[in-house]
Amino acid sequence: MPIDFNPSHHFSVNLSPRIVNQRQYNYFQEQEPDMFVKSASSASAYDGIQISKKSFGKLQKTNQKVSLYTIKNKNGASVDLSDFGATIISIKVPDKDGQLRDVIQGYNDVTPYETAPVGHAGGTIGPCANKISGGQFILNGELFDLEKNKDNGRTHCHGGSEGLDVKLWSTKVLPDGIEFTYRKKDMENGYPGNVDNKVTYKLDNDNNLRIMYEAKTDKDTVLNMTNHTYFNLDGAENAHENSVYEHIVELPNSSTYTKNNEMSIPTGEIASVEGTPMDFREEKTIGDVINSDFDQLKIGSGFDQNYCIDDYDGKTVIEAANIKSKKTGIALKVLTNLPGFQFYTANHLGKTTQPAGKDGERYEKRSALCIEPQFFPNAINTPSFEKPILKPGEKYQREIIYAFSAS
């Protein structure tokens, strides 16, 4: 059975700090090429929110211009977003001393994202996040053969080399955020259906970044979008190997995970975290457990695992992860209404072919971590997993929240 994509679902979360209302307004007027301002009638609703736009370079393949949008709140916290891949380029939040720190890895212009994409950094991943075994799936009795871009041609991963994170999206400026849209054509990159994808980013004055995913299709299709931001809460300039070892992690609502085979594809078994290094229901420091003698850690060369979210119902936004830096005091809470998330400790960064990051240094192995809310990997081929199938007449509605604080 397909997942319930009922458009009548409205997601809410009792989160402190407060999460801004999801309604969309059209109060922005473009005042000059790179600045947007609110009309007087909306000023009280979005006090202090500013949005600006500047060039992020040109695509080498098409010579198309790429833009960088910055949303800044009244605290000075900000998020930079590119229309290439609907990508998060930077998130700056205050640390325990009130100093702004950029806490995600990225690059200074669009060229590395286009010509040397590293780990899909910050991008909107799709049409199907994570791996599909054999690069194939059957839908309504029809075999769909996808690009096999991973594991030496044995699997399809993150939508392939022409996934949503390397497409140029259309943009609309909202009072407190940016709305990106992209129409994937039928059979583009092997996936059926003309799919209208929408990703909306909103930043509020409590330093909460909300990501809302919506989509409609004209044919049955597979759809599983996520965000692939690499976090280092000590500051993204900490690019050296093992620089997230002192991060404290809690995964409070994950008592199980999907067990992987030797290619990091779920076997279909849902295993308990009890008595294993996978158990983060109480806080642990990454460096204390990442090198444990445990088969799943060896397969992933560190943490690279899909965790299941307890009490998932497809509607409720549930706390998935709490991450904290001892150094800066910055804390990140991740919430979602998706059934699982990939916890990844950037085990495969550090290749000599990587370009330098935004601070001039190459991002090395285990210099960041990712929390990627998603449907389970290879769900379309695994009988016991909920299927990320979107049908005509249904509306895909999913959400990720990054809530930042410092103490």
8 Å CB contact between 249 and 255: no
What's the CA angle centered on 147, arms 116 and 123, to 5 degrees? 40
What's the CA angle centered on 152, arms 150 and 157, to 5 degrees? 10
Residue whose structure tokens are 């979360």? 13
Length of the chain: 407
The helix/strand/coil state of 189 is helix
Please, is 163 exposed, middle or buried when counting C-beta atoms within 10 Å of its C-beta (0-12, 13-18, 19+)? buried
How close are the terminal C-alpha atoms of the chain, in Å? 45
Amino acid identity for residue 334 in this structure: V
The secondary element (H helix, E strand) that includes residue 248 is strand 248-250
- Answer yes or no: 372 catalytic: yes
Beta-strand (E) ranges in 62-205? 65-72, 78-82, 87-94, 100-102, 124-125, 131-133, 136-139, 142-145, 155-157, 170-174, 177-184, 195-203
| Both structure tokens of 128 | 């199907």
- Answer yes or no: 228 catalytic: yes
The secondary element (H helix, E strand) that includes residue 289 is helix 286-289
Name the catalytic one among 114, 228, 364, 399.
228
Counting other chains too, the contacts that 113-116 makes at CB distance below 8 Å and 24 or more residues apart are: 113/82, 113/84, 113/85, 113/87, 113/166, 114/59, 114/60, 114/61, 114/84, 114/166, 115/60, 116/353, 116/354, 116/355
Name the catalytic one among 114, 214, 364, 372.
372
Cα–Cα distance, 353 to 197 (Å, whole number): 32
Catalytic residue numbers read 228, 372
